Amino acid sequence: MTDGLYETDREREVEEDEEMSTDVYVQRMERERGSFGEVDMEDWNGLPAGVELGEVVKELTPGEPITPSSVLRLTSYTDDYLCSPEDNIYNISFSRFKIRDLESGAVILDIKKHCPTEIKDVIDLNAGRFIQYHFSPAFLSLREIGATLEFTVGSKAVNRLRLIERHYYRDQLLKSFDFEIGFCIPYSRNTCEHIYTLPELDPDTVADMIASPFETRSDSFYFANNTLIMHHKAEYSFCEKP
């Protein structure tokens, strides 16, 4: 194959994937959508053009097919995990999570996990899928934050890795975030930073969130090729520490 000449579109895709195959994959692209997604995302959502997403979904149950379009229709925090640790067949393991304020550059949170030199191709059934965060009330006044994830991948390449986050206060959807991470090569260490534009909340809601620790929650759904492979949960407190 010579530069600029490809016999098929597939050859072009393979070469583009090889160019992206690097130990550090940095992404700064944010894809924000409303509850039903954008028109140009039918392929991601597994829907042909012209098909309506239908009514919103109050709750999904473990065992039924979980798709990106179905979690984008959720209207509340899920009661259960919608997949099991064994579904992480790519052995994705997170080693660092950092949050920074984009305006000031200040690091708000930096959680690091010991990461061995050798990447093990073993599913960690004890990996934490739930975490509680404690932020100060000032966090709710921020407009944009950058969230950096560092993670390793096992022996299988991950194609079309996608993260959908749904943030709620009680039963109110605050905002939905949708990030395309993309392709990750086998036995790789990867870093991606996602940019969050935080919702503008009315003063009464902010006051309620500060007065109600851990009633602000989020579901994080990780898909590979439209298949749910990980589901993480979090709760947030914004009150002053005693």
Residues 118-150 have pLDDT tens digits of 676 666 666 679 999 999 999 999 999 999 999
Averaged pLDDT for residues 216-238: 97
149-192 pLDDT tens trace = 999 999 999 999 999 999 999 989 999 999 999 999 999 999 99
Give residue 72's pLDDT.
96
Give the per-residue pLDDT at 86: 93
d(CA 21, CA 182): 11
More confident residue, 36 or 137: 137
pLDDT-based confidence at 44, cuts 50/70/90? very low
pLDDT of residue 22: 35
222's CB contacts (< 8 A; 6+ apart) are 92, 161, 162, 163, 228, 229, 230, 231, 232
Q: Is the pTM of this model over 0.85?
A: no
pLDDT beyond 80 at 117: no
* Percent with pLDDT over 70 in the chain: 69
pLDDT at 241: 72
The answer to whether 159 and 206 are in contact (CB under 8 A) is: no
Domains by residue range for the chain, with CATH: 30-237 (2.70.50.40)
With 90 as the cut, is the pLDDT of residue 13 above it? no
Between 1 and 107, name the one with better pLDDT: 107
pLDDT band at 43 (very low <50, low <70, confident <90, very high): very low
Helix boundaries (H) for 50-183: 68-71
- Conformational region of residue 134, where left means phi above 0, alpha means psi within -120 to 50, and beta covers everything else: beta
Q: When comparing pLDDT for 26 and 223, which is higher?
A: 223
pLDDT at 92 over 70: yes
State residue 153's pLDDT score.
96
Q: What is the pLDDT of residue 122?
A: 63
pLDDT for the residue numbered 114: 72
CB 109 within 8 A of CB 99: yes
Give the separation between CA 119 and CA 112, rounded to whole angstroms. 16
How large is the average pLDDT for residues 90-111?
Answer: 95
* Band of pLDDT at residue 116, cut at 50, 70 and 90: low
Q: What is the pLDDT of residue 119?
A: 72
Report the SS3 class of residue 87.
helix
pLDDT at position 240 is 84
Strands 227-237 and 130-134: parallel
- Mean residue pLDDT of the chain comes to 79
